[in-house]
Amino acid sequence: MSSKTSNDNRKMHSIVKRINGAFVGKYILHILKMDVLICLVAVLVWGFAVEKGATGDFNLRTGRHIEIGAGDVLFIYGLNTPEGEEYLVPVMCTEARNVIFVGLGILVIEFFSVLVMSANMKNTINDKLAPIREMARTTEKLTDMAYDEHYFKSLEDAIDNVNAASPDAKITTNNKELQGIEDALNGLLERMRDTYRQQSRFVSDASHELRTPIAVIRGYADMLDRWGKEDESILDESIGAIKNESEHMQKLVEQLLFLARGDSGRNNLQIESIQLDELMREVYEESKMIDEKHCYEFRGEPAQIAGDVSMIKQCARILIDNAAKYTEEGDTITIRTGAGEKGTYFSVQDNGMGMHEADVAHIFERFYRSDEARNHKTGGTGLGLSIAKWIVDRHNGYFNILTRPDIGTRITVIFNGNGLL
């Protein structure tokens, strides 16, 4: 064992000793306080029992004094009642010895308890300090490595030879001393590749979504240029199509901007107390007025959260709009609010086509498509549920989804801690 390691062990042992001594000292102090309290309570109880047995009553006005005894009598406990009567209660030496023996027995037990506690505390401190020892040893190794150019040369070569563009590229030095650094760098590379793949997919999906309405608008513009000036039917059809596609593009761009601001932390929430049942009733009334093709039902129980009113309302509208897209005309969409053991909640339930279990895990992904034809038919952008999830996450909540194909879907938003951030 090197002198440096020996010195480190002595320092660690000294630290353990000091910490253990502090704990043991506090433990002994608590025991002494408890012993004093027990003695005082025992004396009071003994005095009460003696006076009760001698006079038949306990009176605070009774005069009390102690006289030194002789022979087998240790001392005499004297009582002078307010009525002028005097009582003398002798305390025998044998009784005192019995009390002393009991006290000594208690002290012996306490002594051994201190020893056991000290040994256990020392083991506990050693266990708690074990990670620190390991950290110190690792730091020492890294410090020693700092003076060995071979380690840095092998690591530098491994980094230079890695191809970051390759999906399976990893840094390898074949050096056990550098294994921890290898794992950290490879983990960083994998996270970078995941981020790059997500960004590439997001840009590709966004471009695809924008390409379609742009192509439609351009096609109708060309048709207007050729024949629309003279044919009113073509003119009306083109204006309607261009209007619809421009509205779709505007909605898509607004959603993309919302998510971009959310990712960069620029969507600020205005937190206030919200009566959730009243807010959902407002959304229910709006939905009935806007959508006359479906029946809406509201079942609200009192519920209160802290959150951003506009954000919570936007989340509810997204879920209701999503339910309406996949529910046949005339069917019912039910909105509920309440508070349970898991938290305050609101839910949107439909009798639509439902989802398969494999799709549920992906519905909050941006531009996710479970059925291309169905999504194209409904005109959705694939971003609504991503926005809803961002809002719920910021309000310390989560989703509970119950769905069955051809039966329907119920999405419940549950707020932990009353929705506080």
The more confidently predicted of residues 418 and 278 is 278
Same domain, residue pair 342 and 216 = no
* Structural domain count of the chain: 3
Rounded CA separation 269/255 (Å): 17
pLDDT in tens, 250-299: 877 887 778 777 777 777 888 999 999 999 999 999 999 989 899 999 99
Lowest mean per-residue pLDDT among 9-13, 232-236, 316-320: 9-13
Contacts of 80 (CB under 8 A, 6+ apart): 62, 63, 64, 65, 86
The beta strand positions in 139-266, using DSSP E, are none
Instruction: Answer with the one of 219, 240, 263 that is the final residue of a domain.
Output: 263
pLDDT above 90 as % of the chain: 20
Going 100 to 101 to 106 to 109, the CA torsion angle's sign is: positive
CATH at residue 332:
3.30.565.10
How, if at all, do strands 86-92 and 272-275 pair? Answer: unpaired
154, part of any domain: no
Look at residue 310 and tell me whether its pLDDT is greater than 50: yes
Three-state SS at 347: strand
Rounded CA separation 280/275 (Å): 9
Look at residue 54 and tell me whether its pLDDT is greater than 80: no
Cβ–Cβ < 8 Å for 185, 159 = yes
pTM above 0.85, yes or no: no
Distances (CA, A) of 56 to 45, 77, 81, 83, 164: 15, 16, 11, 14, 96
Rounded CA separation 416/276 (Å): 14
The enclosing H or E element of 80 equals strand 73-80
Q: Is 170 left (phi over 0), alpha (psi -120 to 50) or beta?
A: beta
Same domain, residue pair 415 and 392 = yes
220, part of any domain: yes
Cβ–Cβ < 8 Å for 378, 325 = yes
Look at residue 208 and tell me whether its pLDDT is greater than 90: no
Indicate the pLDDT class of residue 113, thresholds 50, 70 and 90: confident
284, part of any domain: yes
CA atoms within 13 A on the CB side of 415: 26
Lowest mean per-residue pLDDT among 92-106, 141-155, 283-297: 141-155
Going 188 to 259 to 323 to 200, the CA torsion angle's sign is: negative
Look at residue 46 and tell me whether its pLDDT is greater than 70: yes
State the average pLDDT over residues 56-74: 75
pLDDT in tens, 154-197: 667 667 676 666 667 777 766 666 677 777 877 887 877 777 77
Same domain, residue pair 234 and 288 = no
State the average pLDDT over residues 143-152: 56
Secondary structure letter of residue 307 according to DSSP:
E
Task: Please tell me the predicted confidence (pLDDT) of residue 376.
Answer: 40
Same domain, residue pair 225 and 339 = no
Q: What is the mean pLDDT of the chain?
A: 79
Same domain, residue pair 185 and 304 = no
Task: Please tell me the predicted confidence (pLDDT) of residue 236.
Answer: 80
pLDDT above 70 as % of the chain: 80
Task: Please tell me the predicted confidence (pLDDT) of residue 377.
Answer: 52
State the average pLDDT over residues 194-207: 69
Rounded CA separation 313/280 (Å): 8
Same domain, residue pair 282 and 415 = yes
Instruction: Locate 319 and state its tokens.
Output: 């879920």
Instruction: Locate 394 and state its tokens.
Output: 């910021």
Cβ–Cβ < 8 Å for 234, 201 = no
* Residue owning tokens 């809406």: 296
Look at residue 416 and tell me whether its pLDDT is greater than 60: yes
Same domain, residue pair 276 and 259 = no
Distances (CA, A) of 353 to 40, 107, 318, 368, 411: 78, 78, 17, 17, 14
Same domain, residue pair 257 and 131 = no
Contacts of 260 (CB under 8 A, 6+ apart): none
| Amino acid symbol at 28 | I
Rounded CA separation 3/14 (Å): 16
How, if at all, do strands 408-415 and 397-404 pair? Answer: antiparallel
Indicate the pLDDT class of residue 3, thresholds 50, 70 and 90: low
Lowest mean per-residue pLDDT among 10-14, 60-64, 96-100, 408-412: 10-14
Indicate the pLDDT class of residue 58, thresholds 50, 70 and 90: confident
Same domain, residue pair 108 and 197 = no
371, part of any domain: yes
Paired with 402 in beta bridges are 410
150, part of any domain: no
Same domain, residue pair 295 and 241 = no
Rounded CA separation 338/301 (Å): 5
Paired with 305 in beta bridges are 274
Distances (CA, A) of 134 to 123, 131, 139, 209: 16, 5, 8, 54
Contacts by 15-22 with C-beta closer than 8 Å and gap 24+? 15/129, 16/122, 16/125, 16/126, 16/129, 19/125, 20/118, 20/121, 20/122, 20/125
Instruction: Locate 358 and state its tokens.
Output: 């494999």
Task: Please tell me the predicted confidence (pLDDT) of residue 147.
Answer: 47
49, part of any domain: yes
Secondary structure letter of residue 341 according to DSSP:
S
Same domain, residue pair 253 and 293 = no
342, part of any domain: yes
175, part of any domain: no
Look at residue 145 and tell me whether its pLDDT is greater than 60: no
Host domain of residue 221? 180-263
Instruction: Answer with the one of 145, 164, 191 that is the final residue of a domain.
Output: 145
Q: How many other CB atoms are there within 10 angstroms of residue 415's CB atom?
A: 26
Rounded CA separation 321/299 (Å): 18
Same domain, residue pair 247 and 291 = no
Instruction: Answer with the one of 94, 128, 145 that is the final residue of a domain.
Output: 145
Rounded to the nearest angstrom, the gap between the alpha carbon of residue 344 and the centroid of all alpha carbons in its chain is 17
pLDDT in tens, 327-386: 999 999 999 999 988 899 999 999 988 888 888 888 888 777 665 334 445 556 678 888
State the average pLDDT over residues 51-63: 75
* Residue owning tokens 């608590």: 30
